[in-house]
Amino acid sequence: MSWSVMLITMSEGMLRTFAIFFLTLLFSMPLGMIVMLLRKSRFVVFRVLMKIYIAIMRGTPLMLQLLAWYFGPYYLFGWSIRGYRFTAIIIGFSMNYAAYFAEIYRGGIEAIPIGQYEAADVLGYSKAQTFFKIILPQVIKTILPSVTNEVITLVKDTSLAFALAYNEVFALAKQIAASQTSFQPYVIAGVFYFIANYAVAFVMERIEKAFDYYR
Protein backbone atom coordinates (compact mmCIF):
# COMPACT_ATOMS: atom_id res chain seq x y z
CA MET A 1 0.00 0.00 0.00
CA SER A 2 1.46 3.37 -1.06
CA TRP A 3 1.87 6.40 1.17
CA SER A 4 -0.93 8.26 -0.61
CA VAL A 5 -3.36 5.37 -0.21
CA MET A 6 -2.46 5.03 3.48
CA LEU A 7 -2.95 8.77 3.96
CA ILE A 8 -6.38 8.64 2.35
CA THR A 9 -7.32 5.57 4.38
CA MET A 10 -6.22 7.25 7.62
CA SER A 11 -7.86 10.59 6.83
CA GLU A 12 -11.15 9.47 8.36
CA GLY A 13 -9.29 8.59 11.54
CA MET A 14 -7.70 12.04 11.56
CA LEU A 15 -11.14 13.67 11.36
CA ARG A 16 -12.32 11.52 14.28
CA THR A 17 -9.26 12.53 16.27
CA PHE A 18 -10.02 16.20 15.60
CA ALA A 19 -13.61 15.61 16.70
CA ILE A 20 -12.45 14.17 20.03
CA PHE A 21 -10.03 17.06 20.49
CA PHE A 22 -12.42 19.91 19.74
CA LEU A 23 -15.42 18.46 21.59
CA THR A 24 -13.28 17.75 24.65
CA LEU A 25 -12.10 21.37 24.74
CA LEU A 26 -15.64 22.62 24.10
CA PHE A 27 -17.02 20.80 27.13
CA SER A 28 -14.07 20.51 29.52
CA MET A 29 -13.00 24.16 29.65
CA PRO A 30 -16.36 25.60 30.81
CA LEU A 31 -16.95 22.53 32.99
CA GLY A 32 -13.58 23.15 34.59
CA MET A 33 -14.69 26.69 35.44
CA ILE A 34 -17.82 25.32 37.14
CA VAL A 35 -15.76 22.79 39.08
CA MET A 36 -13.35 25.53 40.15
CA LEU A 37 -16.20 27.76 41.39
CA LEU A 38 -17.68 24.88 43.38
CA ARG A 39 -14.20 24.01 44.64
CA LYS A 40 -13.96 27.55 46.05
CA SER A 41 -17.57 27.64 47.26
CA ARG A 42 -18.38 28.70 50.82
CA PHE A 43 -20.41 25.50 51.16
CA VAL A 44 -18.29 22.72 52.64
CA VAL A 45 -20.21 19.94 50.86
CA PHE A 46 -19.44 21.37 47.43
CA ARG A 47 -15.78 21.90 48.30
CA VAL A 48 -15.36 18.35 49.57
CA LEU A 49 -17.17 16.79 46.60
CA MET A 50 -15.06 18.74 44.11
CA LYS A 51 -11.85 17.81 45.93
CA ILE A 52 -12.82 14.13 45.72
CA TYR A 53 -13.77 14.48 42.05
CA ILE A 54 -10.49 16.18 41.17
CA ALA A 55 -8.50 13.62 43.16
CA ILE A 56 -10.15 10.72 41.33
CA MET A 57 -9.77 12.28 37.88
CA ARG A 58 -6.10 13.12 38.42
CA GLY A 59 -5.25 10.01 40.43
CA THR A 60 -6.46 7.31 38.04
CA PRO A 61 -5.41 6.58 34.43
CA LEU A 62 -7.48 8.20 31.70
CA MET A 63 -7.71 4.85 29.89
CA LEU A 64 -9.29 3.28 32.98
CA GLN A 65 -11.77 6.15 33.17
CA LEU A 66 -12.74 5.68 29.52
CA LEU A 67 -13.39 1.98 30.12
CA ALA A 68 -15.47 2.82 33.20
CA TRP A 69 -17.59 5.37 31.35
CA TYR A 70 -18.20 2.96 28.47
CA PHE A 71 -18.82 -0.34 30.27
CA GLY A 72 -20.15 1.12 33.54
CA PRO A 73 -23.76 1.65 32.39
CA TYR A 74 -23.95 -1.97 31.23
CA TYR A 75 -22.33 -3.62 34.24
CA LEU A 76 -24.03 -1.42 36.83
CA PHE A 77 -27.50 -0.95 35.35
CA GLY A 78 -27.76 -3.41 32.47
CA TRP A 79 -28.24 -0.61 29.96
CA SER A 80 -27.47 -1.15 26.29
CA ILE A 81 -24.24 0.51 25.20
CA ARG A 82 -24.83 0.11 21.48
CA GLY A 83 -24.06 3.40 19.77
CA TYR A 84 -22.69 4.81 23.01
CA ARG A 85 -18.97 4.48 22.21
CA PHE A 86 -18.28 8.01 20.95
CA THR A 87 -20.42 9.59 23.67
CA ALA A 88 -18.51 7.66 26.34
CA ILE A 89 -15.23 8.86 24.87
CA ILE A 90 -16.27 12.52 24.95
CA ILE A 91 -17.66 12.20 28.48
CA GLY A 92 -14.51 10.46 29.69
CA PHE A 93 -12.14 12.98 28.14
CA SER A 94 -14.22 16.00 29.18
CA MET A 95 -14.61 14.89 32.80
CA ASN A 96 -10.89 14.13 33.07
CA TYR A 97 -9.65 17.37 31.53
CA ALA A 98 -12.20 19.47 33.42
CA ALA A 99 -10.44 18.47 36.64
CA TYR A 100 -7.08 19.66 35.32
CA PHE A 101 -8.49 22.90 33.94
CA ALA A 102 -10.27 23.55 37.25
CA GLU A 103 -6.97 23.44 39.12
CA ILE A 104 -5.31 25.64 36.50
CA TYR A 105 -8.12 28.21 36.84
CA ARG A 106 -7.93 28.05 40.63
CA GLY A 107 -4.19 28.62 40.59
CA GLY A 108 -4.59 31.58 38.25
CA ILE A 109 -7.27 33.27 40.37
CA GLU A 110 -5.44 32.68 43.64
CA ALA A 111 -2.32 34.23 42.12
CA ILE A 112 -4.10 37.60 41.83
CA PRO A 113 -3.21 39.83 44.85
CA ILE A 114 -6.13 40.70 47.15
CA GLY A 115 -5.22 44.35 46.60
CA GLN A 116 -6.68 44.12 43.09
CA TYR A 117 -10.11 43.37 44.53
CA GLU A 118 -9.79 46.07 47.18
CA ALA A 119 -8.75 48.70 44.62
CA ALA A 120 -11.68 47.79 42.38
CA ASP A 121 -14.05 48.09 45.35
CA VAL A 122 -12.68 51.54 46.18
CA LEU A 123 -13.21 52.61 42.56
CA GLY A 124 -16.84 51.52 42.76
CA TYR A 125 -16.67 48.45 40.52
CA SER A 126 -19.31 45.77 41.03
CA LYS A 127 -18.21 42.17 41.58
CA ALA A 128 -19.03 41.30 37.97
CA GLN A 129 -17.12 44.33 36.64
CA THR A 130 -14.17 43.51 38.88
CA PHE A 131 -14.03 39.93 37.64
CA PHE A 132 -14.48 40.54 33.91
CA LYS A 133 -12.59 43.83 33.53
CA ILE A 134 -9.75 43.44 36.04
CA ILE A 135 -9.32 39.87 37.29
CA LEU A 136 -10.13 37.75 34.24
CA PRO A 137 -7.61 39.37 31.82
CA GLN A 138 -4.84 38.85 34.39
CA VAL A 139 -5.93 35.27 35.07
CA ILE A 140 -5.92 34.42 31.35
CA LYS A 141 -2.42 35.82 30.99
CA THR A 142 -1.24 33.81 33.99
CA ILE A 143 -2.74 30.45 33.04
CA LEU A 144 -2.05 30.46 29.28
CA PRO A 145 1.24 28.48 29.50
CA SER A 146 -0.41 25.80 31.65
CA VAL A 147 -3.46 25.65 29.39
CA THR A 148 -1.16 25.29 26.37
CA ASN A 149 0.53 22.28 27.97
CA GLU A 150 -2.83 20.64 28.69
CA VAL A 151 -4.10 21.24 25.15
CA ILE A 152 -0.94 19.74 23.65
CA THR A 153 -1.28 16.76 25.98
CA LEU A 154 -4.90 16.36 24.86
CA VAL A 155 -3.83 16.05 21.21
CA LYS A 156 -1.66 13.07 22.15
CA ASP A 157 -4.15 11.61 24.63
CA THR A 158 -6.78 11.25 21.90
CA SER A 159 -4.90 8.08 20.93
CA LEU A 160 -6.25 6.46 24.13
CA ALA A 161 -9.65 6.21 22.42
CA PHE A 162 -8.32 3.04 20.78
CA ALA A 163 -8.99 1.33 24.14
CA LEU A 164 -12.70 1.44 23.23
CA ALA A 165 -12.03 0.16 19.70
CA TYR A 166 -12.73 3.60 18.26
CA ASN A 167 -11.03 4.07 14.90
CA GLU A 168 -9.23 7.36 15.39
CA VAL A 169 -5.90 7.92 13.61
CA PHE A 170 -3.74 5.89 16.03
CA ALA A 171 -6.09 2.88 16.00
CA LEU A 172 -6.19 2.91 12.19
CA ALA A 173 -2.39 3.15 12.07
CA LYS A 174 -2.14 0.01 14.22
CA GLN A 175 -4.63 -1.86 12.08
CA ILE A 176 -2.96 -0.96 8.79
CA ALA A 177 0.53 -1.65 10.17
CA ALA A 178 -0.58 -5.11 11.33
CA SER A 179 -2.33 -6.01 8.06
CA GLN A 180 0.41 -4.64 5.80
CA THR A 181 3.37 -5.49 8.07
CA SER A 182 4.57 -1.95 7.49
CA PHE A 183 5.92 0.80 9.72
CA GLN A 184 4.68 3.55 7.40
CA PRO A 185 1.28 4.03 9.11
CA TYR A 186 3.05 4.86 12.38
CA VAL A 187 5.17 7.45 10.58
CA ILE A 188 2.04 9.05 9.09
CA ALA A 189 0.36 9.07 12.51
CA GLY A 190 3.47 10.57 14.10
CA VAL A 191 3.63 13.34 11.49
CA PHE A 192 -0.07 14.05 12.05
CA TYR A 193 0.38 14.41 15.82
CA PHE A 194 3.47 16.56 15.37
CA ILE A 195 1.75 18.95 12.93
CA ALA A 196 -1.35 19.16 15.14
CA ASN A 197 0.73 19.96 18.22
CA TYR A 198 2.82 22.48 16.29
CA ALA A 199 -0.38 24.22 15.16
CA VAL A 200 -1.70 24.30 18.73
CA ALA A 201 1.59 25.69 20.06
CA PHE A 202 1.65 28.35 17.31
CA VAL A 203 -1.91 29.51 18.00
CA MET A 204 -1.37 29.58 21.76
CA GLU A 205 1.85 31.54 21.31
CA ARG A 206 -0.07 34.15 19.29
CA ILE A 207 -2.63 34.39 22.08
CA GLU A 208 0.09 34.72 24.72
CA LYS A 209 1.68 37.59 22.78
CA ALA A 210 -1.72 39.31 22.55
CA PHE A 211 -1.85 39.27 26.37
CA ASP A 212 1.74 40.45 26.78
CA TYR A 213 1.21 43.94 28.14
CA TYR A 214 4.89 44.84 28.06
CA ARG A 215 5.43 44.57 24.31
pLDDT range class, residue 93, cuts 50, 70, 90: very high
- The answer to whether the predicted template modeling score (pTM) of the entire model surpasses 0.85 is yes
- Residue-wise pLDDT tens digits, 67-82: 999 999 988 888 888 8
Mean pLDDT of 99-116: 90
Q: What would the DSSP string read from start to end of 53-66?
A: HHHHHHHS-HHHHH
Predicted local confidence at residue 176, as pLDDT = 87
SS3 assignment for 113-148: CHHHHHHHHHCCCCHHHHHHHHHHHHHHHHHHHHHH
Q: Rounded CA gap, 166 and 12, in Å?
A: 12
- Domains and their CATH numbers in the chain: 3-210 (1.10.3720.10)
Share of the chain above pLDDT 70, in %: 97
